[in-house]
Structures are given as structure tokens and as C-alpha cells.
Structure 1
Amino acid sequence: MQPKPKSEFLSWLVAIFFGIIIAFICREFVISPLVVKGASMMPTYENKDVIIISKISDIDRFDHIVFKAPYEDEYYIKRVIGLPGDTVEMKDDILIINGVEYDEPYVNRNTENPFQKRVTENFTLEELTGESKVPENFLFVLGDNRLRSSDSRHYGLISMDAILGESKFRIYPIAELKLFWGKEEQKIE
């Protein structure tokens, strides 16, 4: 027996409707694509890279997060350096979190310029924000391209409420596909 055209059409319509609803829910609450703008996270991300962000991830130190810019109607992507309760300091181009020195292999260092000795100025969290430790529900973030990044050194701490999600996957350009899972940072031994 042949299905009626009207009944088959309604079946397709219902399937398409539920597909759109599921896609909308996933995009709003689970994952979302985003285009990187600017050079503040080079070499990790280039201008116009397309990434997938997870809106349900737990944020940890050194994760790449996307958040609402403090003074613009844009989204920024930066690396989480300080979590609530952390002390953060930069001394002689060495990152110090809670008294522990960290190597930062992800930072864009121009090794071709012999006059560029450091990429990040010396600072303490208190000098920049007036806080001795990162307060609850806030994060301290830095870009990987420190000489060209507007980050917590300039606009202060980021509220957890401003976070859109964590970058998990670079999908474009195709030749640069990368999954951002796990940690690439190491303590200095």
C-alpha cells in the first residue's frame, strides 16, 4: 500500500521541525561555531580561524575561553591564567601562579628580533586589579600574543557571567584542524 502524499509530507515536516529545534537547542546551550578576529592569540589562533566552543565545559587554568568584551559589543578569546583564589605575577617574562613558575610555550615570542628580550611586562595581580587574589566568580586572562593583546592587564578581571564558552576544536582552515583537549603547559622544573 502506497503512503498518502499528504501524510508523507506531514511526516517530513515534523522531522524537519524537530531537527531545527534540536539544532537550535545545541547551538544555544551546548556548542557553537565562532570566527576568531584579530591577532591577540597568535600563534594558537590566526585571524579568521573558525572554532567550535563548548558552552557546558568546566573552565580550568590555561583553557581558551570566549567571553563578552568588557567595553565593546564583541567577543574575545583569551587564555585563562588565574582562577578564583589564585595569585598571579609576571617577573622577567616568567609566569608565576600561586608561587609556582610556569613555562609558556604557547606565547608568541619573536626570536628573530635580538632587541626584544621579553614579551610580557612585569606585574602583579594587585598592581593591575587592586586584588591580591582572583576573587570568586572572576578569571584573569591573557592573550598568547602578549605584545598585541588587550586582556586582563588592560581591562581587569573577567566575570564568569561574561563567558560564552571554551574553545574545543579549530575546524577552519582545514589544513589546521586541531582538537584543544588536555594541557600543553608545563611547570618549570
Structure 2
Amino acid sequence: MKKFNIRRVLLLLLLLVGIAVILRTTLFANYVVDGKSMEPTLFDGNLLMVNKFVYELSDVNRFDVIVFRASKEEDYVKRVIGIPGDRVEYKHDKLYINGEFIEERFLESYKEASSVEKFTNDFTLQQITGEIEVPEGNLFVLGDNRQDSLDSRSFGFISNDQIVGKVDITYWPLTEKVNK
């Protein structure tokens, strides 16, 4: 009778491990942050768990931190600033979306610690992309370290098709977490 129970437990464990592996490979991905473009939210070497399935169920939200395919060889991690229909503008180091000031709380600590007078240079979406608003099916993304980030100010909009997923968890180092 004991052999039967042990076999059942082992079979159940094997089944659970198999399910976990399948879920892990289809729903989540691991990424390592490379560079300083997302400081102070994410740091070089942080290990991230990216939810690859969330945007099948819901829309991308402003200020989500996402991973997207920048090229065949590289993926980038950035923060969504503009969603379809948004008119994005920076004036006097402040973000305006559709003419309304939007506070970026996730940048406060970095701005306070920075010796830079102007954290984000003034621009309008039209100056950078030639578009007045973010087109349907596209996003405008920025790195949190505005002084040292290759983002939509350089390469323009990203397509929803480029999105790998949403950064949900920073699991190394253990004390870090994604600022919202």
C-alpha cells in the first residue's frame, strides 16, 4: 500500500513540475536589465519576471514598464508614457498628456538626487515623431533615466506587436521592486 502512495505522490509531483514548466515558458520570461536607462526603477543587472500573457487579457496602461523587441537581437525595457490617442508634451520638466499635467511620482527620488537642472528636455510629440498624437496600435515609451536613455525620443513609436510583456516582478536583488 505504501508503494502505491509513493508512486501517486511522485506522479503528481512530476505532473505539477511539467505544468509549471509549460506555464513558465508560455506565460512568463526572464530578463536581465542591461544599462542605466531605467534608473531609479530598475538597475543594471536586475533580474526581471515578464508577464507575456497579460496584454492578451487587458490593454497596455500608461506608466506600465514593458519589455519590447527593439530589433532581432535586442529587447528593451522602458516605461509607457503615451498610449493611442495621447498628445504628449514636456514643458519645464513636466509631463503633459492631452494638455493636462501628469505627475510622475516614480521619478521624484531620482530628480531630488540628481544634480541636473532639467531632468527631461522640452519636446512635443510632433517635434519628435511628426505626429500630433500616438497612432492606434502604437506606444510612446521613455526610460526613467531621461538623461541616459535610448527611447521613443530617438526611435519613435513602438508597435503593440513589438511588446514581449509587462514587467511584474524584479526578483534579483530581492529588495528591489518595480515602482509604479
Please indicate the TM-score interval, normalised by the length of the shorter structure. Answer: 0.7 to 0.9
Q: Secondary structure at the residue paired with 2:126?
A: helix
Deviation at 1:24, TM superposition (A): 4.1
Structure 2's unaligned 5+ residue stretches are: none
One-letter amino acid of the counterpart of residue 135, structure 1: P
TM-score with structure 2 length normalisation? Answer: 0.84
Q: What does residue 148 of structure 1 align with?
A: 148
RMSD: 2.4
Indicate whether 1:42 and 2:42 are aligned.
no
Greater C-alpha Rg: 1
One-letter amino acid of the counterpart of residue 98, structure 1: N
Structure 1, residues 146-170: CA drift from partner, whole Å, max 9, x if none? Answer: 0110000000001101101001111
Structure 1's unaligned 5+ residue stretches are: 185-189
**4+ runs deviating over 6 angstroms:** none
Indicate whether 1:33 and 2:17 are aligned.
no
Q: What does residue 53 of structure 2 align with?
A: 56
**How do residues 68-87 of structure 1 correspond to structure 2 at under 5 angstroms?**
68-69=69-70, 71=71, 73-87=73-87
Deviation at 1:72, TM superposition (A): 5.8
> d(CA) in 1 for partners of 2:178 and 2:119?
27
Deviation at 1:32, TM superposition (A): 2.0
Structure 1, residues 15-46: CA drift from partner, whole Å, max 9, x if none? Answer: 63x45642343233312221111110001011
> d(CA) in 1 for partners of 2:17 and 2:164?
22
Deviation at 1:88, TM superposition (A): 0.3
| Between structures 1 and 2, the one with greater helix share | 2
Change in CA separation of 1:111 and 1:49 when aligned onto 2, cut-off 3 Å: closer
Q: Secondary structure at the residue paired with 2:62?
A: coil
Change in CA separation of 1:112 and 1:12 when aligned onto 2, cut-off 3 Å: closer
Q: Secondary structure at the residue paired with 1:133?
A: coil
**How do residues 124-139 of structure 1 correspond to structure 2 at under 5 angstroms?**
124-139=124-139
Worse overlay, 81-90 or 47-56? 47-56
Structure 1, residues 127-152: CA drift from partner, whole Å, max 9, x if none? Answer: 11111110111000000000110000
One-letter amino acid of the counterpart of residue 146, structure 2: R
Q: How many residues are treated as equivalent by the alignment?
A: 173
TM-score with structure 1 length normalisation? Answer: 0.80
